[in-house]
A and B are shown apart, each in its own frame.
Chain A
Amino acid sequence: MNAFPGAEHFAAVIFVVVMATALGGALIAVSTTRIIRSVCGLALCCMGLAGLYYFLNSPFLALMEILIYVGAVCVTIVFAVMLAEPDEPPVGRKSWGARLWGAGALLASLLVFAALTRLGADMPWASAPVERVTDGSVPVLGVALLSTYSLAFEMISLVLLVAILGALVIARPGRSNP
């Protein structure tokens, strides 16, 4: 039963919308001069990525992307920016050194992009593994996190530990003894 007009184009349209969101967000994030707007671009980009995950049939990953990157990381960045300086100073003229660095970064990222594209398009990839965590139910996720992906899971906790230690090291000198 397929009565909806144009139903066969849905997947393509959704893919284009999602990709446009991600790319547009990324462009806003790097091209605007106001730092809050670039955080908004980052949030938009993350929403696009989340849409892409959902499109690829992993809703759990999509929702985690929103919960962590939009709901936590972006909010923290905006908060830090607001505490630091609500009114940003006007951007001065760019020096030649900055332009040179920009050109170098552009070249490097173009090289990486070309290499990744070539890798993705030309490599004979093995077909996707049969067993995937797609339904997102709690038992499947728990088993996957604590068996197949346990190394990655532990590494993430290590990264978080280092981040907390770093925050303590930075924040400690600011505290005077009573």
Chain B
Amino acid sequence: MNLPEPFRLLVFLLGTMAFVGANAAYLVWVERKGAGRFQRRTGPTEVGYAGLLQPIADAIKLMSKQLILPPGVDATLFRLAPLLVLAPAMMCFATIPFSETLVPRNINVGLVMVFSFGSIHVMAIMLGGWASRNKYAIISAARIVSQNVAYEIPMLLVVITLLMVTGTMNLHEIVQQQAGGFWNWNFFRLAANPLMPVTFIIFYICMLAETNRAPFDMAEAESELVAGAFTEYAGMGFGVFFMAEYANVVIGCSLATVLFFGGWQSPIGVLPGLFWFLLKLYLLVFSVIWVRWTFPRTQFYGLLNLSWKILIPLSLFILLLTSAVMKLF
């Protein structure tokens, strides 16, 4: 591709938007089909073959609904919150390497970039909850902060452990280090960190919690909080929150793919990189959906105890172990 730089960025911007939109639409379909299968139902079947046109029908329905502004809400923040949830999620895609050449902006601090823009979405959901002036929404907003603060710590500790192994924050270089066969993936680099699979599991749990997916969906606990922070949102306002949730799931899974499973590196040396990246990415996304429909929602205290009493000590121990191993051998 020899487009001039501004055009290239414009193309990537449009591509990212399309990717986020398509993902949100069809992951909802996958989620509903998956939920159906896990619960011995069939899921959507009516609209199109196997319900494949269902997301489009849903989108038309959401867009044709009125955007209600309930009395008493903080109008500016209420309208701004869905945007603030979605925009940072799109920014995170700017540095994720989809294949060897398909990366919008390859910057040295790519990993920090994903985390810094990922941290904004907590604030946005919280503002949405607060601006709704609804007690369920405010409870949900308070929950989401304590949850995200609690799980940010083990996540960052795990990533620091991984950084010590890779020695770079450039996602492209991290993938390049894992070239040549699946035994070179970070997931299997037991020489540097004997507990690498445990590290991945901690990362995965924290990712579920950070993206507010079940069993940690405290922000939108339907059975106790109506719809949590999104209770007062109607039509596409609600839809945008959902798009952001799926965008965050995709980002989390891409990051897991890049950090642990070799990104676009092929395990056996056939087929182009993009194919392998998307395959690994969607396998992880499917596992996220699988977890959601298999485990019941945890209690809030259980959630916080899991982070502060198990995950943080464990990740600190892994950090110490890795530094000791790397220093000694």
Contact = CB atoms under 8 A, between A and B. Distances in A.
A71 B120 contact: yes
Contacts of A79: 126, 142, 145-146
B123 A78 contact: yes
Contacts of A97: none
A2 B7 CA distance: 11
Nearest to B163: A138
Interface of B: 4-7, 74, 76-77, 107-109, 112-113, 115-120, 122-123, 126-127, 130, 133, 138, 141-142, 145-146, 148-149, 163, 167-170
A26 interface: no
A10 B4 CA distance: 14
Interface string A77-119: 0110011001100000000000000000000000000000000
Contacts of A86: 130, 133, 138
Nearest to B10: A4
B94 to A, nearest CB: 12
A20 to B, nearest CB: 17
Interface of A is mostly: helix
A67 B7 CA distance: 29
A40 interface: yes
26 contacts: A2-B4, A34-B74, A36-B77, A37-B77, A43-B123, A60-B108, A63-B113, A67-B115, A67-B116, A70-B116, A71-B116, A71-B120, A75-B126, A75-B145, A75-B148, A76-B149, A78-B123, A78-B130, A78-B145, A82-B142, A86-B130, A86-B133, A136-B107, A136-B108, A136-B169, A138-B169
A70 B123 contact: yes
Given A60-B109, A63-B113, A71 B169 contact: no
Given A66-B120, A138-B163, A82 B113 contact: no
Contacts of A129: none
A34 B74 CA distance: 10
A64 B156 CA distance: 13
Closest 10 CB pairs of A and B: A71-B119, A67-B116, A66-B116, A4-B6, A136-B109, A63-B116, A79-B145, A63-B112, A136-B108, A3-B4
Given A36-B77, A59-B107, A75 B7 contact: no
Interface residues of A, number: 34
A1 interface: yes
B4 A72 contact: no
A7 B123 CA distance: 35
Interface in A30-49: 34, 36-37, 40, 43
Contacts of A36: 74, 77, 127, 130
Secondary structure type dominating chain B contacts: helix
A137 B112 contact: no
Given A37-B74, A63-B109, 6 more contacts: A40-B127, A60-B109, A63-B112, A64-B116, A83-B142, A136-B109
B108 A72 contact: no
Given A63-B109, A136-B108, A75 B123 contact: yes
B108 A137 contact: yes
A79 B116 CA distance: 19
Contacts of A64: 112, 116
A40 B77 contact: yes
Nearest to A78: B126
Nearest to B119: A71
A137 B168 contact: yes
Contact of A7 (B6, B108, B170): B6
Contact of A82 (B74, B109, B130): B130
A4 to B, nearest CB: 4
B105 to A, nearest CB: 10
A74 interface: yes
B158 to A, nearest CB: 16
A82 B122 CA distance: 14
Contacts of A60: 108-109, 112
A30 B4 CA distance: 42
Contacts of B76: 37
Contacts of B119: 66-67, 70-72, 75
Contacts of A120: none
Contact of B4 (A1, A37, A59, A70): A1
A139 interface: yes
A139 B170 CA distance: 12
B123 to A, nearest CB: 5
A154 interface: no
A82 B129 CA distance: 11
B120 A4 contact: no
